[in-house]
Amino acid sequence: MAGKYSVGCLSMSFAFKTYLPPAWTMPHMDTRPSSPCPFHADAQPPAPVRHPLGVWPPGPRAALTGWGLLRRMSRDLLGALAEWRQAFGDVVHLRLWPEHAVMVADPQLVRELLVTHHDSVRRWERATHVFAQLHGHSVLIAEGDAWRDKRHALQPSFTPKAVQTFVSTIAAATGNALAQWPAHDRHWPIESALTSLTMDVILRMTFSDEIGEEARDVEQAMRTTSEAANAEFYWPVSSPDWVPWKRGKRQSLAVLKGLIDRHLQARVSSPEDAWPDDLLSRLLRLHRDDPQKWPLQAVRDECMTTFLAGHETTARTLIWWAWCMASNPAVQAAARHEVETALCGGTPTTDTLPALRYLTQTLEETLRLYPAAPVLISRRASGPIALGDWHFPAGTLFMLPVQLLHHDPRWFPEPAAFQPERFAADAARIPRGAHLPFGAGPRVCLGQHLAMAEMTVIAAMILQRFTLSVPDGMAHPSPVMNVTLRADQPVHLALAPAAAGAS
């Protein structure tokens, strides 16, 4: 949810004649009717000047096939995109035969693609095919009318008002988990601890159940399937899962599907008047009312997406947030002071969450530095598209690097610094499209309100109880893209009682 699964790699399914534009290419003038009033003619903005169709933006040399660029991306996608943006600008052409891909790192143009041109683009087929192996045909995968129907049916469960009903569940799960954390630990595996906690939260909201002892198996299954998916994005086709070297993926898929199936079968076997008011019950009522549109397989698919997206991206963000707090003691102390003042030792509620404004800023800054979805799922043009100075033909694949936008010094001075003040009410205005932790447009993350409420409750309750610090010898983890933005090493932090580190 916080920023659902998303990728920006490239498949190989479309060909179009290409060449790099020479410096002297005559631009094509986009003519539009001028103002009928001669007194205001000079006040009209100039008509945009666009290159003719067939002229591509600058980009790295691609040799014969461009597959060398693809290999570079497979080793370090985020580093490659940053290097090319630095060398060629905000709009970069990547020739990866038979594809024409265009990286767009300009906030205004990204918003145009996601909002203005929403109906003229569809998500990259290779990504949706890979994700469908686990998510089926859920709202994450669906397109067109099928997506609209699913989104409309699910939306009521994720509105800000609906999210308020989950706050007590989130707080109860968090209190139960934190009671099992040690008061003192110099090397606490906070990555695993927070992953288990977010799994427990989403299971309670979806199935009214707790994660239990299977948390470690599910965590490992998530890591294995994410690594497998990330690798498959760079190949035009996937080898079948029955091949011997995919044994780990097969087993991981079985673990995750088994988790969902057990809860689904248990619920349908019980009388409806005993069903709790959770997401599964709401989905099953859709099935009851219209079994043709909502077969049990559709219910299963939505439960899988809710569980996976609902805990994975939230866990990643909280792990990076905990690291940022441990690395910035003054920020941690200020956030804790706000929590103590607002909550007075009590549990967060829907009434007290709005008072945690600075704590929310620390989460927003974490999402800027370490967006859980650092590259959105690429979009393919279904017809010709005019974007900025360029005309792009049907079939063009657009890559949207959220992390590059978030780290651009034009919008965020000192972009590598952790500065929650960027998101204060009186801070300088951030250009629209420069901060997209949950995407934008009609396909903006369905669970964004739930994700922010969940992370705020968990963060507040951690600060109430613990002081976080970086263990001796622990190096700063490097972010790597593995579908979501993960640390390149398991994250451990030192724990101490909050009172011991209060200032």
Which of the pair, 26 or 264, is modelled with greater confidence? 264
**Over residues 265-279, mean pLDDT:** 91
Which residue's entry shows tokens 């983890």? 477
Answer for the pair 189, 313: CB distance below 8 angstroms, yes or no. no
pLDDT the model gives residue 245 = 74
pTM of the model: 0.85
Q: For residues 113 and 218, give the distance between their C-alpha atoms in angstroms, rounded to a whole number.
A: 36
Q: Which of 73, 118, 134 is nearest to 99 (CA)?
A: 73
Q: Is the pLDDT of residue 348 over 90?
A: yes
In which region does residue 154 sit, left (phi positive, over 0), alpha (psi from -120 to 50) or beta (all else)? alpha
Task: Please list, in sequence order, all residues whose beta carbon lies within 8 angstroms of the beta carbon of residue 429, skipping any fewer than 6 positions away.
Answer: none
Q: For residues 381 and 371, give the distance between their C-alpha atoms in angstroms, rounded to a whole number.
A: 25
Pairing assessment for the beta strands 49-50 and 91-96 based on DSSP bridges: unpaired
pLDDT digits (tens, 9 = 90+) for 148-175: 999 999 999 899 999 999 999 999 999 9
**Over residues 455-471, mean pLDDT:** 97
- How far is the first Cα of the chain from the last one, in angstroms, to the nearest whole number? 35
Task: For 470-484, give the DSSP string.
Answer: PPTTPPPPPEEEESE
pLDDT the model gives residue 47 = 57
Percent of the chain predicted with pLDDT > 70:
88
- SS (HEC) of 43-77: HCCCCCEECCCCCCCCCCCCCCCCHHHHHHHHHCH
Q: Compute CA 273 distance to the chain's CA centroid, rounded to the nearest angstrom.
A: 36
pLDDT digits (tens, 9 = 90+) for 237-248: 677 777 787 788
pLDDT the model gives residue 22 = 32
**Over residues 482-495, mean pLDDT:** 92
Cis (ω within 30 of 0) for the bond into 182?
no
Six token digits for residue 174: 């968090």
Largest CA distance in the chain: 76
Q: Is 167 helix (H, G, I), strand (E, B) or coil?
A: helix
Q: How confident is the model at residue 65 (pLDDT cuts 50, 70, 90)?
A: confident
Sign (positive/negative) of CA torsion 178, 181, 182, 188? negative
Q: What are phi and psi of 378, to 5 degrees?
A: -60, 155
pLDDT digits (tens, 9 = 90+) for 11-53: 333 333 333 333 323 333 333 333 444 444 455 555 567 787 7
Q: Which of 404, 343, 341 is nearest to 375 (CA)?
A: 404
Give the domain 48-501 fold. Cytochrome p450 (1.10.630)
Q: Is the pLDDT of residue 405 over 60?
A: yes
Task: For 89-151, give the DSSP string.
Answer: -SEEEEEETTEEEEEE--HHHHHIIIIITGGGEEE-HHHHHHHHHHHTTSTTT--HHHHHHHH
pLDDT digits (tens, 9 = 90+) for 116-146: 999 999 998 888 888 888 888 999 999 999 9
- What average pLDDT does the structure give for the chain? 86
Percent of the chain predicted with pLDDT > 90:
67
pLDDT digits (tens, 9 = 90+) for 174-216: 999 999 999 999 999 999 999 999 999 999 999 988 877 777 7
The residues pairing with 157 across neighbouring beta strands, listed in sequence order, are: none
Q: Is 21 helix (H, G, I), strand (E, B) or coil?
A: coil
Six token digits for residue 7: 């990728």
Answer for the pair 92, 430: CB distance below 8 angstroms, yes or no. no
**Over residues 381-388, mean pLDDT:** 94
Q: What amino acid is encoded at 188 in this protein?
A: W
Six token digits for residue 121: 């683009």
Q: For residues 328 and 419, give the distance between their C-alpha atoms in angstroms, rounded to a whole number.
A: 10
In which region does residue 31 sit, left (phi positive, over 0), alpha (psi from -120 to 50) or beta (all else)? beta
